[in-house]
A = this chain, B = another copy of it.
Amino acid sequence: MENIKQRSLKQVEKNRGELTKILRELIARPSISGEEKEAQLYYAGLLEDLGCQVDVWEPKPEDMLINPNFLANRDQYSDSPDVVGVLKGSGGGQSLLLNGHMDVVPPGAIDWLQSPWSGHVEGNRLYGRGAADMKAGLAANYIAVKSLLDLGVRLKGDVLLESVVCEKTGGAGTLSAIHRGYRADGAVVPEPTGMQVCPVSMGVIWFKITVTGKAAHAATTHLGVNAITKAGLLIAAVDQMNRQMVAEKKHPLYGYHPTPFSVNLGVVTGGAIPTSVPDKVVLEGRMSFSPDETVADAKKLLEAVVHETAAADEWMREHPPEVEWFGFFLDSGSVDLSHPFVKTLCHNYETALGRAPQVVGSPFGTDAGSLIRYGHIPTVIFGPGPSSTPHKANEYVDLDSVVQTAQVLACTLLDWCGVEE
């Protein structure tokens, strides 16, 4: 086995050129959430060439009902097909699911030095929207499997290469794939963790608080109730809640992170003209929560803060602000550090890279929460770096780390799925 692992590491290194080419092809197909089709069909083609049994389908809103807290934001997915390629094993091995999302965030308001879809390479860096988050992961998944096939390896367990849509908008694609029946004995989500291994991921959910006042001309403020003033009370309360969360909510795998579980007010809008007393303010925000909590716990916490703040104010007591959960929810998830799949991945990390991985909680929400909670699949998030460039202008990925990710995955496949001699 050690021999075949060493040959696999070399084969992945040999395939560096192809990995780079595929990553550039993926980046050249802009796949902002909701517009993933072209990139997905390209990936499906790759999987066919690999000899996979390929399934391409349009998710349906009812697929996501397996997550009872899913926050729907689309009616149809005709431009967002999911793709799964299954490479049947010879039998008797454990299956492994390699998941990745094809959707990317928009390029943003800041100009890039080169086109976000260029995929240009400078030294060890490959630039483009989605380079790190997470087309590199999808390319690494593919190259890991291809390298084994290049060597004539036949695995005992099934390998599932899954490319999903709409992770950035709450994970509809992964939920649809789970609903369609794609399960495995272990899964890796190669998000850009900067080569850290994350068997635990936080939950993330968005909320909207609508504060109601009473409109009046500003010349007669006594006839109105200023919704901005009322929103100010809630802003202070949410700030206090955030301080308390940061001070009190701890998790052993999040010791490295100063503020893993927090609440952030991201958007405020209210009123139309200085000369009117505004009757409505909307606050939008994001809350992250620990895998030790349920999303219901997390929701209750914010709802209680809003309720208590309203109860202390004469107007809001009678006109309570409304809390809605909207747009985005990725559940938390957690796999025990002693789980054989976590151990196998960590062992092969050391085999491939010659050092033990850092094992921590994921710094962001991912599809791993759904795979764990709704697919019941032990899932680890682990991928290339750096983890600091996603969502920004001039996003890039470190190519060495992409090759290393593929090497770790190749060795893990050999161990976990088993090799037909």
Once the chains are docked, how many angstroms separate the CA of A205 from the CA of B262?
A: 39
- Please state if A269 and B268 are interface contacts (CB–CB under 8 Å): yes
Give chain A interface residues in 264-319, CB to chain B under 8 Å. 264-278, 281, 283-286, 288
A113 proximity list for chain B (CB < 8 A): none
Give chain A interface residues in 224-257, CB to chain B under 8 Å. 226, 228-229, 231-233, 235-236, 239, 242, 246, 257
0/1 interface trace, chain A 173-202, chain B, CB 8 Å (1 if under):
000000000000000000000000000000
Once the chains are docked, how many angstroms separate the CA of A108 from the CA of B266?
A: 29
Contact of A363 with B by CB under 8 A: yes
A364 proximity list for chain B (CB < 8 A): 219
- Please state if A274 and B278 are interface contacts (CB–CB under 8 Å): no
- Please state if A267 and B272 are interface contacts (CB–CB under 8 Å): yes
- Please state if A274 and B269 are interface contacts (CB–CB under 8 Å): no
Closest to A265 in B: B228
Once the chains are docked, how many angstroms separate the CA of A28 from the CA of B231?
A: 41
Choose one: B235, B269, B278, B363; the contact of A266 (CB below 8 Å): B278
**Which A-B residue pairs are the 3 nearest by beta carbons?**
A232-B235, A266-B274, A218-B264
Query: Given A220-B363, A232-B235: A277 and B264 within 8 A (CB)?
Result: yes
Once the chains are docked, how many angstroms separate the CA of A150 from the CA of B221?
A: 45
Smallest CB separation, A285 vs chain B (Å): 5
A206 proximity list for chain B (CB < 8 A): 274-275
Closest to A257 in B: B220
Contact of A94 with B by CB under 8 A: no
- Please state if A267 and B271 are interface contacts (CB–CB under 8 Å): yes
A259 proximity list for chain B (CB < 8 A): 220-222
A229 proximity list for chain B (CB < 8 A): 235-236, 239, 265
Smallest CB separation, A29 vs chain B (Å): 24
- Please state if B221 and A264 are interface contacts (CB–CB under 8 Å): yes
Smallest CB separation, A298 vs chain B (Å): 14
Residues of A whose CB lies within 8 Å of any CB of B are 204, 206-207, 217-222, 226, 228-229, 231-233, 235-236, 239, 242, 246, 257-259, 262, 264-278, 281, 283-286, 288, 327-328, 363-364, 391
Closest to A269 in B: B269
A273 proximity list for chain B (CB < 8 A): 266-267
Once the chains are docked, how many angstroms separate the CA of A68 from the CA of B83?
A: 67
A275 proximity list for chain B (CB < 8 A): 204, 206, 264, 266, 286, 328
- Please state if B265 and A226 are interface contacts (CB–CB under 8 Å): yes
Max chain B C-beta neighbours (<10 A), residue from A226, A242, A363: A226
Query: Given A286-B218, A364-B219, A391-B217: A328 and B274 within 8 A (CB)?
Result: yes
A276 proximity list for chain B (CB < 8 A): 264, 266
Closest to A235 in B: B232
Smallest CB separation, A312 vs chain B (Å): 14
Q: Beyond A218-B266, A267-B273, A274-B284, list 7 extra A-B contacts (CB 8 Å).
A: A206-B274, A220-B259, A228-B283, A232-B239, A264-B276, A265-B278, A267-B278
Once the chains are docked, how many angstroms separate the CA of A266 from the CA of B239?
A: 23
Closest to A232 in B: B235
- Please state if B226 and A236 are interface contacts (CB–CB under 8 Å): no
Once the chains are docked, how many angstroms separate the CA of A204 from the CA of B273?
A: 14
A228 proximity list for chain B (CB < 8 A): 235, 265-266, 268, 283
Query: Given A221-B242, A267-B271, A275-B206: A232 and B236 within 8 A (CB)?
Result: yes
- Please state if A268 and B231 are interface contacts (CB–CB under 8 Å): yes
Q: List 17 A-B contacts (CB under 8 A).
A: A207-B274, A219-B288, A220-B259, A226-B264, A228-B235, A232-B239, A264-B277, A265-B271, A265-B278, A266-B274, A266-B278, A267-B270, A268-B269, A268-B270, A268-B278, A274-B285, A274-B327
Once the chains are docked, how many angstroms separate the CA of A204 from the CA of B274?
A: 11
Choose one: B236, B246, B258, B328; the contact of A236 (CB below 8 Å): B236
A284 proximity list for chain B (CB < 8 A): 271, 274
Once the chains are docked, how many angstroms separate the CA of A271 from the CA of B284?
A: 9
